[in-house]
Each structure stands twice: as structure tokens, then as C-alpha cells.
């Protein structure tokens, strides 16, 4: 269960997020990607937005049109919003 508030840094169009714990126990090998893609992790992003925190509505708008890429073998993601703006 997620806490009611999450300490999330300001989102300025691109951030990295680690998925190592989500893939724990999977036989899936994660590889880094050089190109951004549509996120198959959309459900995870929506789940994170269920918490009430400052800047949530601005972040939700930025995540409506986002691309992702895997940046390390642990499943860390870089998110790149296609929408101008900031979430503080």
C-alpha cells in the first residue's frame, strides 16, 4: 500500500525512476534503450498519481503524453514529457 503522500521531486520534463523492485523475481532481462518509446508502464504511472501530493495535477498533465526508455540493467526509467510545463 502506498502512503497518502509521496515525496516526489519537481518534474521538469524528464526524470529517472528505478523499477528494480517491480521486476524482482522475474526471469525478464532488462536492457538499456537508446530510443524513447510509448510506456508499457502506463498502469504504474497511473497508480503513482493516485496519491494526493503538491503538484499532482500538473504532473498528471505532463504524463498524459510521455515517452520512456530503460536507462540501466536494473530497470531504471527516464521519462520524457511531450508537453511543455513543470510540476513543482
pLDDT at 26: 53
pLDDT at 53: 93
Residue with cell 536492457: 31
- Kindly state whether residue 4 falls inside one of the protein's structural domains: no
pLDDT at 31: 81
Beta carbons within 8 Å of 46's beta carbon, 6+ residues apart: none
- Kindly state whether residue 7 falls inside one of the protein's structural domains: no
- Kindly state whether residue 63 falls inside one of the protein's structural domains: yes
User: Of 22, 3, 14, nearest to 59 (Cα)?
Assistant: 14
Range of the domain at 44: 14-81
Residue 2, C-alpha cell as written in the block:
502506498
Q: What pLDDT digit, counting tens, does each position of 14-61 carry?
A: 545 455 444 444 555 668 899 999 999 999 999 999 999 999 999 999
User: Of 26, 29, 12, 16, nearest to 68 (Cα)?
Assistant: 16
- Answer whether 0.85 is exceeded by the pTM: no
Q: How many domains does the chain have?
A: 1
Residue 59, C-alpha cell as written in the block:
504532473
Amino acid at each position: 500500500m502506498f502512503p497518502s503522500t509521496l515525496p516526489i521531486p519537481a518534474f521538469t520534463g524528464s526524470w529517472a525512476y528505478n523499477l528494480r523492485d517491480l521486476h524482482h523475481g522475474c526471469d525478464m532481462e532488462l536492457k538499456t534503450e537508446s530510443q524513447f518509446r510509448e510506456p508499457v508502464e502506463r498502469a504504474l504511472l497511473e497508480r503513482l498519481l493516485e496519491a494526493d501530493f503538491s503538484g499532482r495535477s500538473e504532473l498528471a498533465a505532463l504524463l498524459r503524453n510521455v515517452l520512456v526508455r530503460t536507462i540501466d540493467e536494473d530497470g531504471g526509467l527516464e521519462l520524457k514529457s511531450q508537453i511543455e510545463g513543470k510540476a513543482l
